Chains A and B, each alone.
Chain A
Amino acid sequence: QSVLTQPPSASGTPGQRVTISCSGSSSNIGSDYVYWYQQLPGMAPKLLIYSNNQRPSGVPDRFSGSKSGTSASLAISGLRSEDEADYYCAAWDDSLSDVVFGGGTRLTVL
């Protein structure tokens, strides 16, 4: 069981806006930055969002992150077929002194 909780699946049609939630606690999301990763099939993960809502160079602005209290969200607007992937949230946990990951959300583009 993961320390951070994500829905196992999400879906949307091309052009739609989809959000993926990530729920944690005061020792991780509530007190530290949230990170989001995209993992395409058969590939290594890729950093999508860091420091709650910052995009690395090269990540389209269709991807956005937000955080409120002990929860965070990843939003993908203008959904495309190439967005079909697994998405993971992560944060440092002050109590565990660990990086904790969510269980992952498989996004399907219908």
Chain B
Amino acid sequence: QVQLVESGGGVVQPRRSLRLSCAASGFTFSSYAIHWVRQAPGKGLEWVAVISYDGSNKYYAESVKGRFTISRDNSKNTLFLQMSSLRAEDTAVYYCARDGVGGGYGDCDYWGQGTLVTVSS
């Protein structure tokens, strides 16, 4: 069955960096675009970034552009999110989610359980 497992979250000081990983299994990872979506405590969903199936296209939310980098290693079925210059407002649960085949970006048909990132001094 399709599984996405995030890791790498934790407590980090402002202006520091952190790298999240998302290990995929149960499907052909290299055939699907993958998203990062975050949710601040008690708040709604906020899309962060998406990477195409082959890594050739990447899109970012304005709030993270220039600070976050999405990448993937199709040989290891793993997605990454390199986060730098972290701010308190980046505190959230970060989910990776597979983009389905419904056409266009946005139909996230499978989600991981999320990993909590807390930015605090």
Residues in A lying within 8 Å of B, measured CB to CB: 2, 32-33, 35, 37, 39, 44-47, 50-51, 54, 56, 86, 88, 90-92, 96-104
Residues in B lying within 8 Å of A, measured CB to CB: 35, 37, 44-47, 50, 59-62, 95, 97, 100, 102-109, 111-114
Are B50 and A99 touching (Cβ within 8 A)?
yes
Known A51-B107, A98-B61; contact A44-B95, beta-carbon cutoff 8 A = yes
Are A101 and B46 touching (Cβ within 8 A)?
yes
Chain B residues whose CB sits within 8 angstroms of the CB of A88 once the complex forms: 44-45
Are B109 and A47 touching (Cβ within 8 A)?
yes
Are B61 and A45 touching (Cβ within 8 A)?
no
How far apart sit A39 and B37, CA to CA, in the bound complex (Å)? 13
How far apart sit A97 and B95, CA to CA, in the bound complex (Å)? 20
Known A88-B45, A98-B47, A101-B45; contact A45-B111, beta-carbon cutoff 8 A = yes
Are B108 and A92 touching (Cβ within 8 A)?
no
> How many residue pairs, one in A and one in B, have C-beta atoms under 8 Å apart?
72
Are A44 and B109 touching (Cβ within 8 A)?
no
**Known pairs A45-B108, A98-B47. 13 more at Cβ < 8 A?**
A33-B107, A44-B95, A44-B113, A47-B108, A51-B103, A51-B107, A56-B100, A98-B59, A98-B61, A99-B35, A99-B47, A99-B105, A101-B47
Report, nearest first, the 10 A-B pairs whose CB atoms are least far apart: A50-B102, A50-B107, A99-B47, A44-B111, A104-B44, A51-B102, A101-B45, A99-B106, A47-B109, A35-B106
CB < 8 Å neighbour of A44 from B104, B105, B114: B114
Tell me the smallest distance from the CB of A67 to a CB of chain B, in Å.
13
27 of the cross-chain contacts (CB-CB < 8 Å) are A2-B44, A32-B104, A33-B104, A35-B102, A35-B108, A37-B45, A44-B112, A44-B113, A45-B45, A45-B95, A46-B111, A47-B107, A50-B100, A50-B107, A51-B107, A54-B102, A56-B100, A86-B44, A90-B106, A92-B104, A96-B62, A97-B59, A98-B47, A98-B59, A98-B62, A99-B35, A101-B47
Chain B residues whose CB sits within 8 angstroms of the CB of A91 once the complex forms: 106
How far apart sit A56 and B112, CA to CA, in the bound complex (Å)? 17
How far apart sit A12 and B95, CA to CA, in the bound complex (Å)? 30
Chain B residues whose CB sits within 8 angstroms of the CB of A46 once the complex forms: 111
